[in-house]
Amino acid sequence: MKLPHQAITTKHESVLLATPLLTQTLAVIAPALSVLVCVAQAWRILRAGAHGVSVVTWILSTFVAEMWTAYGVIFHVPAELYCNLPFLAVSSIVIVTAARHADRELATAAGVALVTATTIGVALACHGPHWRWIISTIAVCGAVFIYLPQLVVALRSSNLHGVSIVSWVFAFTTSLCWAAYGTLINQPPVALPAIVMAPSAAIIVVQVARHRRAHVA
pLDDT digits (tens, 9 = 90+) for 175-190: 999 899 888 888 887 8
Domain count, the chain: 1
Residue 15 covered by a domain: no
Task: Kindly state the DSSP code that residue 51 receives in the 8-state scheme.
Answer: T
Using CA atoms, how far apart are residues 125 and 120, in angstroms rounded to an integer? 9
Full residue range of the structural domain in which residue 59 is found: 26-216
Q: Which of 150, 51, 154, 133 is nearest to 98 (CA)?
A: 51
60 is a domain residue:
yes
- Report yes or no: 142 and 175 within 8 Å, Cβ to Cβ: no
Domain membership flag for residue 2:
no
Distance CA 5, CA 7 (A): 5
> What percentage of residues in the chain have a pLDDT greater than 90?
35
* pTM exceeds 0.95 for this model: no
Note whether residue 17 is domain-resident.
Answer: no
Least confident interval from 1-15, 26-40, 125-139, 146-160: 1-15
